[in-house]
């Protein structure tokens, strides 16, 4: 009987030792997993806060664009020169975004708090306000930062918003825009590294496929037979009218700024992370 009791005692002691060896690693793994989940949740919250800043800038800018357009039209009706109007509107945009000034009833608020959502905050830093060479558009570049009290990191997103104040002029010689700034677009086909801004109206025959790191902006009307946008870092922006027989977007983005009725695309194929935005609003065909 004593012999059996001795064995039982040894088994109990062995079990205690084994449990003692296993518990710390298990607890460490559990705590590590919990910390990782907490970090991921925090990063997601910060990302959402930075996205909220982008949405705010877009909504504010769209409303400001309406006010600027109304001011432009009033002054044009009074006979003022477009150059003078553009100079003043550029100063107004710069004052609103960098000087805390008010345009009519519009005041830009770069700091937003979400106290009901775990003390999240958003800060928008305007990095640049610039005009294009034709003095028809002004682009506001900014960084939206999501922050949280006592958080170890912040989430930043760079973005920009273009204000189109006047229509881009046409090339009087041939009725089409000048491709001197982007000569590779004289030929159809695949274009993996386009990075240019075109001023005027353009008509592209054949299939044009933009891939890689391509960024193309057309400040005017654009007409395509077949337009393909493929790649996470590919963005095509059109300010004017857009007509196309076929539009295929796969993991890329098309931004259209103009009257919605001037967005005339017959066949649209939207796949993967492909996105279309019309005047800053997501478009689902």
- Is residue 175 pLDDT above 50, yes or no? no
The pLDDT tens digits for 24-59 are 666 665 556 656 666 666 777 777 778 888 888 888
Residue with tokens 């909220």: 52
Does residue 78 share a domain with residue 131? Answer: yes
This prediction's pTM: 0.52
In-domain check, residue 28: no
- Tell me the average pLDDT across 224-245: 91
Most confident of 13-22, 115-124, 250-259: 250-259
- Residue 281: what pLDDT? 84
Does residue 54 share a domain with residue 142? Answer: yes
Host domain of residue 122:
38-164
Does residue 220 share a domain with residue 153? Answer: no
- Residue 153: what pLDDT? 65
In-domain check, residue 42: yes
CB 209 within 8 A of CB 190: yes
Token pair of 285 as six digits: 């065909």
Domain stop point among 135, 164, 193: 164
Token pair of 257 as six digits: 């700024």
- Is residue 115 pLDDT above 60, yes or no? no
- Tell me the average pLDDT across 196-222: 88
Does residue 155 share a domain with residue 44? Answer: yes
Does residue 75 share a domain with residue 125? Answer: yes
Instruction: Name the domain count of the chain.
Output: 2
In-domain check, residue 15: no
- Is residue 1 pLDDT above 60, yes or no? no
Most confident of 36-45, 116-125, 193-202: 193-202
């Amino acid at each position: 009987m004593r012999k059996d009791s001795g064995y039982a005692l040894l088994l109990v002691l062995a079990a205690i030792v084994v449990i003692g060896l296993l518990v710390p690693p298990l607890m460490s793994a559990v705590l590590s997993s919990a910390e990782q989940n907490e970090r991921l949740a925090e990063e997601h919250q910060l990302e959402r806060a930075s996205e909220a800043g982008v949405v705010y800038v877009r909504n504010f800018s769209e409303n400001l664009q309406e006010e600027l357009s109304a001011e432009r039209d009033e002054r044009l009706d009074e006979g003022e020169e477009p150059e003078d109007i553009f100079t003043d509107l550029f100063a107004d945009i710069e004052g609103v975004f960098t000087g805390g000034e008010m345009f009519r009833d519009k005041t830009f608020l770069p700091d937003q708090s979400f106290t009901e959502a775990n003390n999240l905050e958003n800060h928008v830093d305007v990095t640049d306000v610039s005009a294009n060479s034709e003095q028809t558009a002004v682009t506001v570049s900014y960084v939206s930062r999501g922050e949280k009290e006592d958080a170890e990191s912040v989430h930043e997103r760079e973005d920009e918003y273009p204000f189109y104040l006047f229509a881009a002029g046409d090339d009087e010689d041939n009725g089409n825009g000048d491709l001197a700034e982007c000569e590779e677009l004289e030929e159809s086909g695949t274009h993996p590294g386009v990075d240019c801004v075109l001023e005027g109206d353009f008509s592209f025959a054949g299939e044009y496929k933009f891939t890689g790191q391509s960024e193309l902006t057309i400040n005017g009307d654009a007409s395509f037979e077949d337009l393909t946008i493929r790649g996470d870092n590919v963005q095509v922006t059109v300010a004017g009218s857009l007509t196309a027989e076929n539009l295929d977007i796969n993991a890329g983005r098309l931004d259209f700024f103009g009257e919605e009725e001037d967005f005339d695309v017959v066949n649209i194929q939207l796949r993967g992370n492909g996105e279309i935005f019309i005047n800053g609003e997501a478009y689902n065909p």
